[in-house]
Amino acid sequence: MRNIDPARAKWMRIRMGVLSGILGLGAGAVVASAYRVQVEDGDAWRAAAEKQRERKQEVKPKRGSVFDRHGSRLATSIEVPSASIDVEELLGEAGKSEGQKAESAKKGNEDLVLRAATARLSQILSIDPVELYRKLATKKRFLWLKRKISLEEAQALRDIGDPKKEPQPIRGIVIEAEMRRFYPAREVAGSLLGFVSPDGDGKDGLELALDEDLRGKAEEIEGLRDRSGRWFALPGAKTSVAGHDVELTIDQAIQHLAESELSSAQRTYETIGGSVVVMDPSTGEILALASTPGFNPNDYSTSDVEARRDRAITDRFEPGSVMKVFTIAGALERGKLSTEEKVYCEHGTYKLGPVTIHDTHQNDWLTPEEILKHSSNIGALKIGLALGEADLYSTYRKFGFGEPTNIPLPGEASGVLRPRGRPWVDVETANASFGQGISATSLQLATAMSAIAGDGKLIEPVLVRRVTDVEGNIVRDAELPRVRREAVSPRVAKTVREMLVSVTEKGGTGEEAAVHGFRVGGKTATAQKVDPGTGKYSTDKFTASFVGFIPAEKPRLVIAVVLDEPMIGHYGGDLAGPVFRRVAGEAMRYLGQTPPDQGHIALRASPKNEPLRASASLASMVSLKEPEPGTVRVPDLNGLPMREALKVLSKSGLVPTLAGSGRLVKQSLPAGTTVPKGSTLELLFEPTT
């Protein structure tokens, strides 16, 4: 400054001062702004920053499980791996500019990478390489390779994507967990349960009807995304959402028994299908709802659509002679008939207007009980005509015909009771009195017979016992019994019940349905099917059925057996009767109810204050290490009563084959051995002395 002109030096000092002042003001402004942002407005800015990182993700809840009445799992959801791929990452294109991607494509590198990846992936996943290459060629950032793969396939994919194990790893593969619906009992109750689509939606049966309960409600879970875009839940966020569990009235052991006998009858008589309904007439609980042909809901895609239909509720058919039961009950209720009154049955042939009606046997004078025993069409139609069109129609409606039972299953048919908009003429009334010109379902027949087996009240069938949430709290509970109305008085119900016992006694049409040691009541039916081509009754297509109850004194079970279009034979007593006998007899033994003359056979579960003989082995079963996936360990059932043995066995995933009665003395597979789920275990029972 000494050699500079004083005036100029002064000016320079002024400028430096001004500049320093400006810089000081700027620095002050910056500090002030920083203070305002970080201190005064710090909370607001911090919240804004967090908001940019926070994301709410909709989490699909785990689908609820379905149990039978004893807690055996019929349907559940398990986590299985699924594989997807980011094709851009596979090609090494992630993060490149469009120009760089175009340059890479020109060199033909992409096609080589895609073809090499296709060859390796298609081999591991056993999928069509042509279809896989076509998918990869779309170059999408997300593509499903295969959903719900095995653990071995998942590990193989991880290995080929690991740089430590592969010199040329396949990049972009993502293994993530998805829920898969699993049915431990396989085909058992398949038509009843339905199935679930890969996206987790119920598509048939109970899975569809109760989809809202089972699926639960999707919830938004708060979480954060890192710089790679991966989402993770915040600490403490609720992630254990799940749908409701459903407990059915179905007994898995009785369901399996009914399905086995039905399948055997289908093979023996070459039917196109059939159904069996087992009900408790005192509560309306459905213990079995079997339909054949059935299917395995674990592999529903390979099954035929017809096999997935639950014939017990969807198939309408002319019930035939079973309706004579309700015709006679209505006439007795209204005083148009007495138990000792005899009806002239015209020696087997009766002409009504232009129609001639025949009986299988030539009968003259028959009481109402004999009309049921010999299944006289002419006797039934005369009672129906005496009752009158209006009262006959009213009787059938009181027994639930022509209306749905309101069972919670999709596709239930209500049946047809009479032509819409007009009453029956005499011929139609006559035909309806013995089950022609009207239609019903197997479940409707079982429900109507339950009114006869009970005290005359029509009880609504119940399939769902209760619905509970993930914590075990009851969401919905069935009130039993659900009485819809009184069909007939208790006196008439008891009278008809006693009449029906004669059907299964010597000389009755249902001799084959008799169960040794029990008094059994019921009614056979052999109904001609209408040919849809001609509109007339077919001469070679029939529906054979038997609907009955056991024991007659105080019915514990009502069982309806319906066989559709048997090729070998066609009479209901000869075909459906034996199915009823086997299902009823085995079910009664399983329930611990023995014939009155065999009271020494102790089949009931031990009282609460009396320990089970096999309690030690049962305890050891619980402590054993869990077997490998897809396998089960055979339990020790030695010495258990049949009912208790089947309870234990139903939870293990093994299929029982029963012989004898009493307590278990032998099982075909040694206790403790590991076998695949669904394996057959033969059980031999012997009476105690």
Q: What's the Cα-to-Cα distance from 459 to each of 277, 450, 613, rounded to whole Å?
A: 15, 7, 39
Q: pLDDT-based confidence at 659, cuts 50/70/90?
A: confident
More confident residue, 688 or 178: 178
Work out whether the CA dihedral 528, 529, 533, 534 comes out positive or negative. positive
CATH of the domain at 645: 3.30.10.20
* Residue 108: inside a domain: yes
Q: Are residues 635 and 509 in the same domain?
A: no
Q: Are residues 593 and 658 in the same domain?
A: no
**pLDDT score for 373:** 94
- Which one of the listed residues 72, 122, 260, 321 is annotated catalytic? 321
Q: Are residues 566 and 632 in the same domain?
A: no
Residue found by looking up tokens 């596709």 in the block: 411
Q: pLDDT-based confidence at 599, cuts 50/70/90?
A: very low
In DSSP terms, 247 is beta-bridged to: 67, 466
∠ Cα 451 456 461 (to 5°): 35
Q: Kindly state the helix (H) or strand (E) to which residue 461 belongs, with its residue range.
A: none
Q: Are residues 579 and 530 in the same domain?
A: yes
Of 130, 151, 171, the one marking the end of a domain is 171
**pLDDT score for 552:** 93
Q: Are residues 511 and 369 in the same domain?
A: yes
More confident residue, 70 or 7: 70
Mean pLDDT of the chain: 83
Q: Is the pLDDT of residue 95 over 90?
A: no
The two tokens of residue 520 are 């059994």
- The HSE-up count of residue 466 (CA atoms within 13 Å, CB side) is 12
More confident residue, 336 or 533: 336
Give the span between the Cα atoms of 316 and 528, in whole angstroms: 13
Q: Is the pLDDT of residue 372 over 50?
A: yes
Give the span between the Cα atoms of 357 and 442, in whole angstroms: 26
Q: Is the pLDDT of residue 43 over 80?
A: no
Give the span between the Cα atoms of 519 and 517, in whole angstroms: 7
Q: What domain range is 627 assigned to?
A: 615-686
Give the span between the Cα atoms of 263 and 655, in whole angstroms: 15
Q: pLDDT-based confidence at 233, cuts 50/70/90?
A: low
The answer to whether 686 touches 662, Cβ cutoff 8 Å, is: yes
Work out whether the CA dihedral 93, 94, 98, 99 comes out positive or negative. negative
Q: Are residues 406 and 272 in the same domain?
A: yes
Give the span between the Cα atoms of 261 and 513, in whole angstroms: 14
Which residue blocks in 302-410 are alpha helix, DSSP H? 311-314, 323-333, 368-374, 377-387, 389-398
Q: pLDDT-based confidence at 605, cuts 50/70/90?
A: very low
pLDDT tens by residue, 98-129? 554 555 554 557 788 888 888 888 888 888 88
Angle of helix 389-398 versus helix 426-433 axis, rounded to 10? 40
**Nearest residue to 373 (alpha-carbon basis) of 503, 202, 203, 192:** 503
Q: What's the Cα-to-Cα distance from 49 to each of 40, 42, 52, 224, 226, rounded to whole Å?
A: 16, 11, 5, 12, 13
* Residue 448: inside a domain: yes
DSSP sequence for 175-217:
EEEEEEEE-TTTTTTHHHH--B-TTS-B-SHHHHHTHHHHH--
Q: Is the pLDDT of residue 59 over 50?
A: yes
* E runs forming strands in 73-147: 73-85, 143-146
**pLDDT score for 604:** 33
Q: Report, in angstroms and rounded to the nearest whole number, the Rg of the chain calculated over CA atoms.
A: 37
For residues 264-274, give the mean pLDDT.
92
The two tokens of residue 452 are 């006869």
Whole-prediction pTM: 0.73
Contacts of 221 (CB under 8 A, 6+ apart): 56, 57, 58, 59, 233, 237, 238, 239
3-state secondary structure of 296: coil
**pLDDT score for 435:** 92
∠ Cα 628 629 634 (to 5°): 60
Give the span between the Cα atoms of 149 and 144, in whole angstroms: 11
Give the span between the Cα atoms of 427 and 180, in whole angstroms: 56
Of 152, 171, 190, the one marking the end of a domain is 171
**pLDDT score for 613:** 30
Q: Is the pLDDT of residue 279 over 90?
A: yes
* Residue 45: inside a domain: no
Give the span between the Cα atoms of 500 and 372, in whole angstroms: 7
Q: Are residues 435 and 573 in the same domain?
A: yes
∠ Cα 533 535 538 (to 5°): 85
**pLDDT score for 610:** 32
Q: pLDDT-based confidence at 280, cuts 50/70/90?
A: very high
- The rounded percent of the chain whose pLDDT value lies above 90 is 43
Q: Are residues 485 and 358 in the same domain?
A: yes
For residues 385-394, give the mean pLDDT.
93
Q: Is the pLDDT of residue 203 over 60?
A: yes
CATH of the domain at 372: 3.40.710.10
Q: Are residues 292 and 264 in the same domain?
A: yes
pLDDT tens by residue, 171-180? 888 887 777 8
Mean pLDDT is lowest, of 219-223, 325-329, 538-542, for: 219-223
Q: Kindly state the helix (H) or strand (E) to which residue 276 belongs, with its residue range.
A: strand 273-279
Of 598, 631, 661, the one marking the end of a domain is 598
Q: Is the pLDDT of residue 593 over 60?
A: yes
**pLDDT score for 49:** 63
Which strands form 231-233's sheet, in the order they lie side by side? 54-59, 219-225, 231-233
Q: Are residues 424 and 365 in the same domain?
A: yes
Q: Is the pLDDT of residue 4 over 80?
A: no
Residues in the chain: 689
**Nearest residue to 552 (alpha-carbon basis) of 599, 593, 592:** 593
Q: Are residues 261 and 120 in the same domain?
A: no
* Residue 222: inside a domain: no
Give the span between the Cα atoms of 492 and 332, in whole angstroms: 7
Q: Is the pLDDT of residue 586 over 60?
A: yes
More confident residue, 183 or 56: 183
pLDDT tens by residue, 13-41? 788 888 888 888 888 888 878 777 777 77
The number of angstroms, rounded, from the C-alpha of 653 to the middle of its chain's C-alpha atoms is: 16
Give the span between the Cα atoms of 627 and 607, in whole angstroms: 32
Catalytic, 650? Answer no
User: How many domains, in total, are found in the chain?
Assistant: 3
* Residue 434: inside a domain: yes
* Residue 374: inside a domain: yes
Terminus-to-terminus CA distance in the chain, angstroms?
130
Give the span between the Cα atoms of 46 and 40, in whole angstroms: 12
**pLDDT score for 55:** 55
In DSSP terms, 79 is beta-bridged to: 179
* Residue 35: inside a domain: no
Q: Are residues 428 and 325 in the same domain?
A: yes
pLDDT tens by residue, 497-551? 999 999 999 999 999 999 998 999 999 999 999 888 888 888 889 999 999 999 9
* Residue 359: inside a domain: yes
The two tokens of residue 125 are 């996943």
